[in-house]
């Protein structure tokens, strides 16, 4: 499933050539891709004729600001891709569910074999009405995340985004100390921290030397600071390398290019291989159909 670095890779790529363009036409061939709308026509009529003012991100969501104040949100789900056409004759990939024809340049296609991803248009709440914002997100000390939550009520529940919100370590400590949840479950809970999933949780916890199963309230100050630092470092590095593309998954950027960060994974998908720090074999446990990879010596 695409996580923050993969979604940011897609966002940054689209922001380079889609901002300022107008959606001339939109074709929806699978209504499930726009399932929050009563009909596909409803979605189509909102976006057609609209220009894209900016493209931002919150958690695993890409937010296209439209010129009438509406926001089109894309969530890639398990296997969603936003792809540019490679020319006027470029055939549509299998599982293309939505096609945006722009006033100039390539088409934008939403492709999603497993159909867990979605697109929807969010309209601002009436004047004077504010959405209920996540109590964790309110611990942010700055950044653009709050404006996005207020503008897109459907995203107001999202917890702190490691880049869109300014997170200081002692605010993170407040969250960890208020919960008894196991660390991996806590940092992958989108309502607590938005954007981290299975791969990056394992990499962050390895980097911080913290075991996935530790109750968050049991972390020492030093451990919390290490998790805080690891979160920023790992996610920044992963963005720099355009995310992770695994053998069995489909992540590619809008030009069809895979990510490179899988080459730098320290634990994820490395069961039985030696730990880079201590040479002990990396272990794997499976819980709720999700694998967790960790070093039994370096993580406590
Ligand atoms: Zn180790």
Structural domains of the chain, with CATH: 4-123 (3.20.190.10), 169-294 (1.10.8.50)
Closest to 161 (Cα-Cα) out of 72, 70, 63: 63
In this prediction, residue 249 carries a pLDDT of 66
290 is catalytic: yes
Q: How far is the CA of 197 from the centre of ligand 1 (A)?
A: 22
2 is catalytic: yes
Contact by Cβ (8 Å): 94, 101: no
Q: Which of 11, 50, 60, 71 is catalytic?
A: 60
Which stretches of the chain drop beneath a pLDDT of 50? Answer: none
Q: Which of 2, 5, 106, 254 is catalytic?
A: 2
In this prediction, residue 124 carries a pLDDT of 78
In this prediction, residue 88 carries a pLDDT of 81
Q: How far is the CA of 18 from the centre of ligand 1 (A)?
A: 44
Q: pTM of the predicted model, to two decimals?
A: 0.97
Q: Write out the residues surrounding ion ligand 1, Cβ under 5 A.
A: 275, 277-278, 280, 295, 297-298
Cross-strand pairs, 215? 182
For the CA atoms of 177, 228, 132, 59, the dihedral, rounded to the nearest 10 degrees, stands at -140
Q: How far is the CA of 135 from the centre of ligand 1 (A)?
A: 36
Q: Which of 92, 284, 290, 297 is catalytic?
A: 290
In this prediction, residue 218 carries a pLDDT of 98
Model confidence pLDDT, tens digit, residues 142-186 = 999 999 999 999 999 999 999 999 999 999 999 999 999 999 999
Q: How far is the CA of 288 from the centre of ligand 1 (A)?
A: 25
């Amino acid at each position: 499933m695409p996580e923050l670095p993969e979604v940011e890779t897609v966002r940054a790529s689209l922001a380079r050539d889609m901002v300022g363009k107008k959606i001339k036409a939109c074709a929806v061939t699978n209504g499930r891709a726009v399932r929050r709308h009563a009909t596909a026509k409803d979605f189509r009529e909102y976006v057609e004729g609209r220009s894209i003012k900016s493209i931002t991100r919150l958690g695993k969501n890409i937010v296209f600001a439209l010129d009438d104040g509406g926001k089109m949100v894309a969530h890639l789900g398990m296997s969603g891709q936003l792809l540019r056409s490679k020319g006027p004759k470029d055939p549509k990939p299998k599982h293309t569910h939505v096609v945006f024809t722009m006033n100039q340049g390539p088409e934008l296609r939403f492709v999603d074999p497993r159909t867990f991803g979605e697109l929807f248009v969010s309209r601002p709440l009436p004047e004077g009405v504010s959405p209920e914002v996540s109590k964790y997100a309110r611990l942010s000390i700055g950044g653009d995340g709050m404006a996005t939550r207020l503008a897109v009520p459907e995203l107001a529940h999202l917890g702190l985004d490691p880049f869109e919100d300014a997170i200081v370590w002692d605010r993170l400590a407040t969250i960890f100390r208020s919960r008894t949840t196991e660390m991996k479950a806590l940092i992958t809970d989108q309502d607590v921290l938005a954007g981290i999933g299975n791969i990056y949780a394992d990499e962050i916890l390895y980097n911080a030397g913290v075991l996935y199963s530790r109750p968050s309230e049991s972390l020492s100050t030093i451990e919390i600071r290490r998790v805080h630092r690891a979160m920023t470092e790992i996610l920044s590095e992963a963005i720099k390398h355009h995310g992770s593309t695994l053998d069995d998954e489909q992540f590619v950027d809008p030009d069809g290019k895979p990510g490179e960060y899988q080459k730098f994974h320290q634990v994820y998908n490395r069961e039985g291989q030696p730990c880079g720090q201590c040479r002990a074999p990396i272990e794997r446990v499976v819980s709720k159909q999700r694998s967790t990879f960790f070093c039994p010596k370096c993580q406590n």
